[in-house]
A and B are shown apart, each in its own frame.
Chain A
Amino acid sequence: MRFRIIKNMINQGFEGMWRNRGMGLASISSIIAVLLILGLVLILVLGINNVVGDIKSKFDVVQVFLEDDIAPKDLDKIENYLKDSKSVKTYKFETKEQALEKMKASWGDEGYLLDGLETDNKLPNSFLVELKGIEHTENVVKDIKALNGVETVPYYQDSIDKLIMISKYIRMGGLVITIALVLVSIFIISNTIKLTVANRKREINIMKYVGATNGYIRGPFIIEGVLFGLIAAIIAIVIINFGYEYLFEVINDKLYYILSVHLIAPETLLKDMSIIFLSIGAGIGAVGSIFSLKRYLNV
């Protein structure tokens, strides 16, 4: 019986959408427009987030340079600190020999210039410390600097602060715009559904007298709203996907050349965007319908 009722509701939802296709088309178009704007905002936010994330990951790692004549007792102390700290993800001891190897490798063809330094290696021993997040860096660096035997911990507080702030603002801005656009979409859908509901006021009234539950009455309208939202989302996804692929092809290489950052790959973007758009589409459809029905259900 439950299953039959649900089947009935879905049928009626599709029927309502078809009967209402004129207004539906209008609201689908408006929602596509809203989603396209949202898409641009998302591309911007995700893109910038991507760049910021790239840069941030470089700051998640600090290198603790040790004094050459460090006492074993002090070395233990430092290692214990790293082991116990909740902010540290991993750490690794790097000997001066390993540091030199690494330097040689990074110098590439000119690495031979460093030959012979093995006997008089001026590079310090160090700990390579990977933190759980960039926001932990400041405290950990302060703690370690206070320990005996630490020579220096290079660290760029200003840049990190700025970066954290920028990414916070971008995320907040994106969120605000997204919320505003979602509200606009809910308004659009709820107006369309309101029209359907007004057309079917009689039907709703009769249904109530025959003993239909509110859920049963609401169901088809919600399904109709969700269908509108999903159709708009799918069309918007297709448009944005083509648009972004084109943009990516045209400017990705140039961008890398100028700023040495990449755009997000179209496949990654499409996946994220599809999930976001489909959820938003279905969500605004459902919420919009529920809003527009509230008044009619209190019979």
Chain B
Amino acid sequence: MIKFINVTKKYKNNVVALSNARLSINKGDFVFLVGASGAGKSTIMKLILKEEDPTSGKIILDGKDITNVSKRSIPIIRRSVGVVFQDFRLLQNKTVYENVAFAMEIIGESPKEIRRRVPMVLSMVNLSQKADSFPDELSGGEGQRVSIARAIVNNPSMLIADEPTGNLDPETASEIMGILSDINARGTTILMATHARDIVDSMQKRVIQIDKGVIVRDEEKGGYGDEVSYY
């Protein structure tokens, strides 16, 4: 469902964040992206989300070449890829319910459909009780669950999570991983960048390791790896 064919990304300051990367992620995969800080993990995600364009190479998403798509079709691409960040990025002046509904309003869903789907995803992330709370009334784990609910409410075929547990304590982190596993079990492809060794080791999913922009390992059921120099 996503393919990088010899993709190189050189930023304007001449930093080569990704060099000649080849990778292929299939529908339903759960993939960890590991590597030291600055290795190029977020760059891969930005390339998928079309926040950045590759310097060379090709990116295929759902069978479509998105390497050089027009600016106008970028929103359409983003609708098929949900995204979750380390810092949740919730709107402080909207309730939990509204934060999730917002993602549906933006793409013009009907109020009826919104009323049906928002409670559904909130219950998927165990937040039905908190629907009317505001973000500053939530714990870190709850905040991240809201952002996951928002990311999946429009039924994306893929979920990208950039260090989703980075700000959470281990217990809360494993709760989030449980939710991501559930989502994956329903068929959504998941690509998650992380520095959390224990999570990667315990889940034994596919691991892609990247070092200074080069993919150095792509293992079907792997651990975090010893050679990853952490910071």
Contact = CB atoms under 8 A, between A and B. Distances in A.
Q: DSSP majority for the B interface? A: helix
Interface in B78-109: 78-79, 83, 89, 91, 102-103, 105-108
A216 B106 contact: yes
A2 B108 CA distance: 7
B106 A207 contact: yes
Contacts of A98: none
A213 interface: yes
Contacts of B77: 211
A212 B91 contact: no
Nearest to B153: A210
A299 interface: yes
Given A210-B106, A212-B107, A299 B91 contact: no
A299 B89 contact: no
B67 interface: no
Nearest to B105: A8
A211 B154 contact: yes
Contacts of B78: 208-211
Interface in A197-217: 202-203, 205-214, 216
Nearest to B90: A206
A5 interface: yes
Interface string A212-237: 11101000000000000000000000
Interface residues of B, number: 21
Contact of B150 (A1, A203, A208, A210): A210
A205 B89 CA distance: 9
B15 interface: no
Interface in A250-299: 299
A81 to B, nearest CB: 61
Contacts of A208: 75, 78
Contact of B89 (A2, A206, A213, A216): A206
Given A2-B108, A4-B108, A8-B105, A210 B91 contact: no
A211 B89 contact: no
Contacts of B107: 210-212
A203 B102 CA distance: 10
Contacts of B102: 206, 210
Interface in B173-224: none
B106 A299 contact: no
A17 to B, nearest CB: 15
A3 to B, nearest CB: 9
A216 B107 CA distance: 9
B49 A209 contact: yes
B184 to A, nearest CB: 20
Interface string B42-73: 00000001010000000000000000000110
A4 B75 contact: no
A120 B106 CA distance: 90
Contacts of B108: 1-2, 4-5, 8
Contacts of B106: 207, 210-212, 216
A211 B75 contact: yes
A212 B110 CA distance: 16
A213 B102 CA distance: 14
B110 A4 contact: yes
B154 A210 contact: yes
Nearest to A19: B93
A206 B91 contact: yes
Contact of B103 (A5, A205, A210, A216): A210
A214 B73 CA distance: 11
Nearest to A297: B71
Interface of A: 1-2, 4-5, 8, 202-203, 205-214, 216, 299
By Cβ-Cβ distance, the 6 closest A-B pairs, closest first, are A211-B79, A211-B78, A1-B108, A212-B106, A5-B108, A210-B103
8 contacts: A208-B75, A209-B78, A210-B154, A211-B106, A211-B107, A212-B75, A212-B106, A213-B72
Interface of B: 49, 51, 71-72, 75-79, 83, 89, 91, 102-103, 105-108, 110, 150, 154
Given A8-B105, A210-B103, A213-B72, 9 more contacts: A2-B108, A202-B89, A202-B91, A205-B89, A206-B91, A210-B107, A211-B76, A211-B77, A212-B106
